[in-house]
Structure 1
Amino acid sequence: TSSAPPLHVVVLMPLRDDWASAAELIRRLDRTVASYPCTLDVLLVDDASLQVCNGADFQSQLTAVRTIRTLRLRRNLGHQRAIAIGLVHVQQNMTCDAVLVMDADGEDTADGALQLIRAFSEINRNQDTGAIFAERSRRTESLLFRSFYQIYKMVHRLLTGVRVRVGNFSILPSSYLTTLVVMSEMWNHYAAAFFRSGLPFTTIPIPRGHRIAGRSRMNFVTLAAHGISAISVFGDVVGVRLLIASMAGSLLALLGIVAVFIVRFFTDMAIPGWATYASGALAIILVQFITMAISFTFIMLSNRTNLSFVPLRDHSLFVAGVEIIYRND
């Protein structure tokens, strides 16, 4: 038998107008976690919803959930930045053992949340520390969406050297927040910023669920923007890789010009007029590669001197207020 107190988890859910889904997901989460030694405080980060939250939708007989809060933002920032602001709020205003980050639409399931909580508790029992991310074992989107997603994963791996395996669905020790809230990369992409932090983590396979209500706003444009945000977190790595590629291209173009020169003046293989066109085309390519290399160099140098957005310092600019809409007394 163990006398350890129940695990106290803050559930962080960014949302925009998905109030009905969030209310149902919280009820499912409460039923699923009720038999486990765990208490939950839910923080809904309201990303400037157009629909007003109806507090009555959240007035259920909950067991594990102690409070439900809404953190309203002044403008729509997107779910990645909503997560960043939510983590700062938790770090500054709430006490907990762990933070569970999940979407409010139901695609991150209550059963999956319990899997993460159980795995986190097991780590704690072993006197270890680390975050746990859900690695998607099954996706429910259309074939076209999955095809573009595979292309994005290949491009991400090629540019950054990091394999895309996870999304936002994760649980992390509250002690990690001290590091994460001062990372400017958090403003662009939560998961990518976490990997960039170097903090230890592991993954467990969890299938993706279905939306509870409404339709997903994710489309090709938003997927592309989301992917670019993730890649931007590794901007310096991408810059170095592209710089090396540009230098390699310049070298190949220069070798091509030398080869044209040798063929033209030291062999009888040259076709009249061929050397002029070939060397001219290669010279243009050489200039372009050199220009790209110089551009990447100056971009990387300027980025290292710019003062970036720091969530801990700047988050309050976007916070309109906090409201407790449910309390289990």
Structure 2
Amino acid sequence: MFQANWTSVTGFFFLGFSHYPNAEAIIFVLCLLMYLIALLGNIILISITIWDFHLHTPMYFFLSNLSFLDIFYTSSAFTPMLENFVSGENTISFSRCASQMYISLAMGSTECVLLSMMAYDRYVAICNPLRYPLIMNKKVCAQIAAGSWVTGCLTALVETVPVLQLPLCGNSIINHFACEILAVLKMACVDTSTVQLIMLVISVLLLPVPILLICISYAFILSNILRISSREGRSKAFSTCAAHLTVVVLFYGTALSMYLKPSAVNSQEIDKFMALVYAGLTPMLNPIIYSLRNKEVKAAVRKQLIRNFCNAVLISITK
């Protein structure tokens, strides 16, 4: 069979959801709505954490980083797909495909690390409240965020580079709606066991290990909460953790189902819909979950809306 290196390939063709011609328009509308809501929600969340000085805390600093990740990730996955649907051409250039594959891996890996660090932040806040400002100072928070980004970007590079060096079959059709690394691997004409082993090791380091750290953190948190005498205090402590736990379950649940399933399971069509959840639904729900579960965020949004309304009224009066 004809083989080609990535450097000799000019572009790829996505099969996307062509197996479901009657549902393509519905999928497009749903994806567009998810993308717009995710974009708007995360931009609002970033904006209010910058504008409202009451939200200048470690938790909202990490939450802003999470929103940046979600914007980059969902944009890299959904923008080419939406463009292709409008243009009618399910194609992508080599450079955009390679960039999309790297960005999706980098953002996903960074989020794995960041979510575990957010669990540590909650642990310190609840179990060591008096030392919290000292432990989670600005310098430490910046180092944690920078470490998360560097770890995610480097691990994505380790995964992407070997895949880009694999000889590909002459057929440049990707059975997916994006350049997802598992779908691209299926195009290789050689044994990919080494690359899959590298991916497995990184997946274990970025999925089960952070999950274990999160579980340990919340075990200590739960133990500490149960010792709180007042019902109001317990309720407040639980509420500060509920949003983060919801996001963790949603994110890691879809990630584990995609990257740690048995290799014998061939479910490409299921993977596409799981990728939609992973790339669209999770980034869309994150700001909603944190807004609905957090009184401070809702108060900040109301304050900003009132301020904008008052400014608009004043401008209209002065004209």
TM-score by length of 1: 0.25
Task: Give the structure with the larger strand fraction.
Answer: 1
Task: Give the structure with the larger helix fraction.
Answer: 2
| More relative contact order, 1 or 2 (CA 8 Å, 6+ apart) | 2
Structure number with larger C-alpha Rg? 1
